[in-house]
Structure 1
Amino acid sequence: MSFHNGPVTKALMLTLGANTFIVGAFQFKHYFRLQLVPHITKYTQWWRILSYQAAFQSSSELFISQILLYNVSVALERVYGSRKFSSYIFVSGVVSTTMTVLGMLAAGWFGINTSFAGPIPILFSILYSYYRVIPSAYRYRIFGVSLTDKTPYYVMATFLALINAPESIALATIGILTGAACRSDILPFKSYRLPSWINKVASAFRPLIGSTEPGYRPNSVLPELGQSGTHVPTSSNGEAIGSAGVDIAEPSVMNRSPVEAQNQTTGREPTSEEISQLSAMFPEATRVQIVNAISSTSSLEAAVERLVQ
C-alpha cells in the first residue's frame, strides 16, 4: 500500500486500526464511551473526554473510515503539508471535544443523556476541508443527476453518519462545525502550527512509517539532447524551438541536474557544513535529498522542516 507522501495519514490509519482491534478483542469498548451521567457527574471519569475519540466501536465504522482516510486525507495532506495537516488534526480534536462536552451539558438541561464514541468528528472535519480545498477532477451523470469523482466519498460519509444514529449524526455535525471553525479567519485556529520540536521527535519514527521524500520530476518535456534517435528542431540561427515555434531553453539548461536546477531557482549553494549537520540529524535521508532540501530553501531551519515533512 502506497501512501504517496502521507505519513500523518498513515500514522492516523494505523493508530485507529490498532486501537479498534485491541478495544474489540479485549472487550474494552465501555471504556471508550463518553456520557455525562454517570461517567462525568457521578464517577468523575474525566479521562473519558480524551479516550472517546481514540477508537471506533465497530469494524464497519473502521472499514468506512479507512477508505475515506486513504482517499481523502492523503489528498488533503499533499496540499497542506505534513506539519500543517498534523496541526489541523490536533486543533480539530481539541475543538470537537470542547463542542461535544458543551453539547452534552446543554442537552443535560433538557434531560437528554447521550453517549458518544468514536473519532467521527475528526474525520468529518477532514472531510469538510477536503470539500473546501480539493477541487473535483471530473464530472459525470447517472440518470440525469450530475456527480463528481468526490461523490462516492460523500456517500460513504453519509453511511458513517447514519450507522449509529442519532449519536453518529450528532458527532458528524460536530465534525462539520469543527472543520468550519478551524478554517475560519475569525478564530486563530487556521494559523496554528504544532511546535517544531514535535516534528523532530516524530522524525525518529520515520523508519516505521516509511520514506516520504518525493522523487525528482524534471520540468522539461523534451528528451535529453544527445540521445540516439532524438532530433530537436532548430531555427535559422541554430536555437532549439518547440512545436509551436517558441524558443526553448538552451541545451545546457535542459541537461542541468536536479541540484543545479534548484540552485538556479533559489541561488543558494549548500555548504559541506550544512550537509554534514543535516546528515547527522537525518541518517535515513540520502545525500541528494539533503542537498535538494538545502538548495530549495532560504535557511537551514526551513530545510530541516522540509526533511521532517
Structure 2
Amino acid sequence: MNGGPAGFNNAPVTRAFVISSTLFTLFFGIQGRSAKFGLSYQDIFGKLRILKLIASVFSFSSTPELLFGLGLLYYFRVFERQIGSNKYSVFILFSTIGSLLFEALALSLLKDPTLNLLTSGPYGLIFASFVPFFFDIPVSTWFRVFGIRFSDKSFVYLAGLQLLLSSWKRSLIPGICGILAGSLYRLNLFGIRKAKFPEFMATFASRFSWPSTGSPRVPTTTRVNGTAPTVPSYAGRRVERTYPTPPVPSSVEPSESAIATLVSMGFDGNSARQALVQARNDVNAATNILLEAQSH
C-alpha cells in the first residue's frame, strides 16, 4: 500500500487530523469512554451535546478500529497532495457533515431499538475518500493469489472492508453514509469542488501540527521559457541559471489519471500538471522533469 513518500510532506491537514484522532482516542480510551460517543437514535430527537458530536468525529471506539482507520487516513493523504490543503479541508468538512446527516436520517428511518449507538470515529472522511480512490487512483500492478487476480489497490479495499464490518451494523451504517457523502462531493453538489476556505484558515493545520517526518521538500518553480529561478551567490550577487527546455504545446491537456499517478509519487498537483504539459502527457518524461527540477 503506497501513498507516495513516507511522512506527511505536502499534507499538513491530514497530519493534524491524524494527530487529533489519535489524541482523542487515547484520551477517552484511558477514561473508558471511547465506546460511548457514537451517534444514537436518542441524540436525533433529544439534546445532542457538542462535546459528544466532536468526539464522535475524531475518537475511534476501539484499538483495532484506530489502527485500520489511521492507516487509511495516512494513505489517503495523497488526495490532499492532489487538490491542495485548502480544497482538502473543504472535502473533510463536507464529507463529515454530509455523513452525519445521512447517519441521522438512517437512525430516524430504521428506528432499531437494538441499534443503541453507531460506532464513532472519522468514518465519514475515510469512506468518502474511497470514492476518489476508486475513480482517480490508477492501478499500477496486478498479481494473482490462488488463481484470483488482485491489484495493488486491493489491500486498501481489504483494510476498508475490515473497518466497515468491525462492529457490524454500528460501523456499516457510518461507512455507507461516508460513501454517499463522497459521491455527492464527486457529483459537485452546489459546486462544492470549487469551494475554498480563506487562506488563513487553510494554513491553520500546518501552523499548529507537529512537524512531518522525512526530508522537507524544497519549493521549486520553473519558468516556461526555460529560465530557472534566481538564486543568491556567496558574493552577495544574484546568479540566474538557464536551462534549455522544449517548447510547451498549448493544446495538450494532461489526463487526470496521469496527474494522479505523479501525485501518488509525492509530487505537487500543480507541478505535476505543468510537467505533463511539457512532456506531452508522457508520465515517464514528466517524472524526469520533476526530479530534475528538485535537484536544482
Query: TM-score of the superposition, structure 1-length normalised?
Result: 0.64
| Structure 2 residue aligned with 1:15 | 20
Q: 1:125-168 deviations in whole A, cap 9, x for unaligned? A: 11222222211222222233221111101001101111100111
Instruction: Return the letter of the residue paired with 1:65.
Output: G
Find the counterpart in structure 2 of residue 209 from structure 1: 211
1:58 corresponding residue in structure 2:
62
Q: 1:63 to 1:40 in 2, by over 3 A?
A: same
Structure 2 residue runs without a partner (length 5+): 1-5, 231-239, 246-270, 275-296
| 1:17, distance to aligned residue in structure 2 (A) | 0.8
SS in structure 1 of the partner of residue 143 of structure 2: strand
Root mean square deviation, CA, Å: 3.3
2 CA distance for matches of 1:152 and 1:205? 32
Distance in 1 of aligned mates of 2:189 and 2:201: 26
User: Structure 2 length normalisation: TM-score?
Assistant: 0.67
1:264-283 correspondence runs (5 A):
none
**In structure 2, what is the Cα distance between the partners aligned to 1:10 and 1:203?**
8
Aligned-pair CA distance for 1:88: 0.5
Q: Which has the larger radius of gyration?
A: 1
Contact 2:15-2:212 within 8 A present in 1 as well: no
C-alpha separation in 2, matches of 1:157 and 1:28: 24
Q: In 2 relative to 1, CA 66–51 (structure 1 residues): closer, same or farther, beyond 3 Å?
A: closer
Check conservation: 1:107, 1:113, Cα contact below 8 A: no
Q: In 1, distance between residues paired with 2:199 and 2:163?
A: 35
Q: Distance in 2 between matches of 1:192 and 1:114?
A: 36
On the 8 A contact 1:64/1:160 being kept in 2, the answer is yes
Matches within 5 A, 1:79-158: 79-108=82-111, 113-116=115-118, 117-158=120-161
SS at match of 2:9: coil
Matches within 5 A, 1:1-309: 2-29=7-34, 31-37=36-42, 39-42=43-46, 44-47=47-50, 48-71=52-75, 73-108=76-111, 113-116=115-118, 117-205=120-208, 208-210=210-212, 214-215=217-218, 257-259=228-230
| Greater RCO (Cα-Cα under 8 Å, separation 6 or more) | 2
Report % sequence identity.
24
User: Secondary structure at the residue paired with 2:150?
Assistant: strand
How many Å apart are 1:64 and its aligned residue? 0.7
Q: CA contact under 8 A between 2:228 and 2:241: conserved in structure 1?
A: yes
> What amino acid maps onto 2:56 in structure 1?
Y
Per-residue deviation, residues 50-88 of structure 1 (Å, max 9, x unmatched):
4322200101001011211222x1222221111111111
Q: Does the Cα contact within 8 Å between 2:36 and 2:117 map onto a contact in 1?
A: no
Match of 1:239 in 2: none
Give the Å deviation of 1:113.
4.4
- Assess if the C-alpha contact under 8 Å between 1:216 and 1:258 holds in 2: no
Could you report, residue by residue, the CA deviation over 1:258-303 in whole angstroms, capped at 9, with x for unpaired residues?
44579x99xxxxxxxxxxxxxxxxxxxxxxxxxxx9xx9xxxxxxx
Aligned residues: 228
The one-letter code of the counterpart of 1:209 is P
Residue 200 and residue 155 in structure 1: after superposition, are their counterparts in 2 closer, same or farther (change >3 A)? closer
1:139-198, Cα deviation, whole Å (9 max, x unpaired): 222233221111101001101111100111111111111110111134432222222231
Return 5+ residue gaps in structure 1 as ranges. Answer: 220-251, 266-292, 297-309
Report what 2:265 is aligned to. none
